[in-house]
Amino acid sequence: MADNILEMRGITKQFIATRALDNVNFSVKRGSIHALVGENGAGKSTLMKVLSGLWPYGTYEGDIVYEGEVCKFSNIKDSESKGIVIIHQELALVPYMSIGENMFLGNERGRRFAIDWEKTHAEATKYLKMVGLSDSSKTLIKDIGVGKQQLVEIAKALAKNARLMILDEPTSSLNEEDSKALLDMLLEFKKQGMTSIIISHKINEVAYVADDITVLRDGKTIETLTKGVDDFSEDRIIRGMVGREIEDRFPKRSGVKIGEMSLEVRDWSVYHPTYTDKKVVNNVSFNVHAGEVVGFYGLMGAGRTELAMSLFGRSFGTNISGHMSIHGKEVKLHSPRQAIDHGLAYVTEDRKGNGLILTNPISVNTTLANLKGVTKHGVIDRDKELLVAEEYKNKLRTKTPSVTLDVITLSGGNMQKVLLSKWMYANPDILILDEPTRGIDVGAKYEIYCIINDLVAEGKSVIMISSELPEVLGMSDRIYVMNEGSIVGEFTQAEASQEKIMARILAVDNAAKESKKS
């Protein structure tokens, strides 16, 4: 019999009319990496919130047996005291505090009324070395990238003497190189006896790192697959998640005619709003046509989001220069409202922070970008607002009992559909989609891809920014490659391949290194 560090038995969790977990059984072997997969809304995060005490004992049915002991956690401090530490998808770091301060926030080193800063930074440095981070512990969080912030969260967990580490979508904001490094680190920790639970929608990463994979669907345990015993192929894992075969990850687009140029950008440059001498977009020129999906790919820090936001009414950057034409007419857009009025929409990568008002109903969020459409004599017609939201709920197949519910009640994939509904109702000609499938499952991704195809079939233009190269290759008619703020390559769909795109990025990087040497 396997030596299990954790057994969750018959876990059931009810939210008013929704049963999020239905008699779930979940066991984790000591010193293993166990992946938890399933579609959005399958119950993965809810199960881990039960385990970590975020949903306390008494709010669910069933038992948690950890290290052979039945545990009744009242809060997250209770679980952490046992060595169970959860790292959430949305990183919980304070930007204007140092790495060391963040690592021991709520877990301070020193006496009750006096923090020992020397000990704080010394211990922080020790744990940072364990995760391969050489930055000073006195560096502010805002001054390091997302990849390094993820490492800080892991170091923070280690500082709490974690024996069971839960990672919720740890690579969702990372490029392929940083993702691989993080997964290799988990494998190294496993050699040292650490047990990890990883929640991820990236099936290739799950297959690479996990010893066991448990599949949840509709709040129920479907199966557990074991490496070396069961089929660990991506198709097999996906079949368990969605309950059916997905023959083609990217729906075919047929009969769509590429029309006239809808957007042209020439010699576009942008400087950072805080570090005003740092150029983040460097002399970029590109175009997109009606009925066309144009992909933008680049590694972390390539400048894709900065470019998109600067185009959308200068919502990012300073000292912006260059020319932008919409439907052949040069425009100067100084605010998001002007961009919307000119038929340009930007669907942010940060749906929870910047895209949606989580504590407002789905109906309110759906009409936010086009209040004129539901306003009469300066007053919002709530009945019409509900009708519009219901129409888009049905059109995009958003899973929710009612559009009167707050957005925060939805899964990530359904939140993304509400965000798309918001901009589709504004009826733009050009949509910039920034990481439109980040953190959502394969089934929901397929539905988003179908929506993109429907948009270009209507003659819309779509710019799709993505960190997932297979997604860019599978959905784009043309692809622009960015590196360090510049466009370094352009490929048609027929020309493009993963090897060619990565070779172009590496060639530019190598040329830059040689230039610095000389």
Mean pLDDT of 197-221: 90
Cα–Cα distance, 249 to 208 (Å, whole number): 20
pLDDT of 174 higher than 80: no
Which has the higher per-residue pLDDT, 146 or 473?
A: 473
Mean pLDDT of 74-103: 88
Which range, 171-175, 266-270, 295-299, has the best average confidence (pLDDT)? 266-270
pTM value surpassing 0.75: no
Residue 285: φ, ψ to 5°: -130, 135
CATH class of the domain comprising 1-83+163-173+194-245:
alpha beta
Q: What architecture does CATH give domain 262-343+430-448+464-518?
A: 3-Layer(aba) Sandwich (3.40)
Residue 228: φ, ψ to 5°: 85, -10
Which range, 108-122, 140-154, 288-302, has the best average confidence (pLDDT)? 288-302
* Percent of the chain predicted with pLDDT > 70: 96
User: For 488, left (φ over 0), alpha (ψ -120 to 50), or beta?
Assistant: alpha
pLDDT of 510 higher than 70: no
Length of the chain: 518
For residues 138, 144, 147 and 148, what is the CA-based torsion angle, rounded to 10 degrees? -10
Mean pLDDT of 133-141: 89
Average pLDDT of the residues of the chain? 89
Which has the higher per-residue pLDDT, 156 or 510?
A: 156
Cα–Cα distance, 161 to 155 (Å, whole number): 10
What pLDDT sits at residue 467? 83
Residue 454: φ, ψ to 5°: -65, -40
Which 3 state secondary structure label does DSSP give 391? Answer: helix
| pLDDT single digits (tens) 211-244 | 999 999 888 999 999 999 998 888 888 888 877 6
List the domain boundaries for the chain.
Answer: 1-83+163-173+194-245, 91-162, 262-343+430-448+464-518, 349-427
Q: What is the DSSP string of 114-147?
A: EE-HHHHHHHHHHHHHHTT--S-TTSBGGGS-HH
What pLDDT sits at residue 517? 60
Look-up of token digits 């997932």: 468
| pLDDT single digits (tens) 25-56 | 999 999 999 999 987 778 888 999 999 999 99
Mean pLDDT of 164-188: 84
| pLDDT single digits (tens) 388-425 | 999 999 988 888 889 999 999 888 788 889 999 999 99
Mean pLDDT of 60-79: 94
For residues 316, 322, 328 and 329, what is the CA-based torsion angle, rounded to 10 degrees? 80
What pLDDT sits at residue 439? 72
Q: Do domains 1-83+163-173+194-245 and 262-343+430-448+464-518 have the same CATH topology?
A: yes
Cα–Cα distance, 143 to 148 (Å, whole number): 10
pLDDT of 442 higher than 80: no
Q: Are 184 and 174 in contact, with CB atoms under 8 Å apart?
A: no
| pLDDT single digits (tens) 155-168 | 888 888 889 999 98
What is the pLDDT confidence band of residue 506, given thresholds at 50, 70 and 90? confident
pLDDT of 321 higher than 90: yes
What is the pLDDT confidence band of residue 1, given thresholds at 50, 70 and 90? very low
User: For 23, left (φ over 0), alpha (ψ -120 to 50), or beta?
Assistant: left
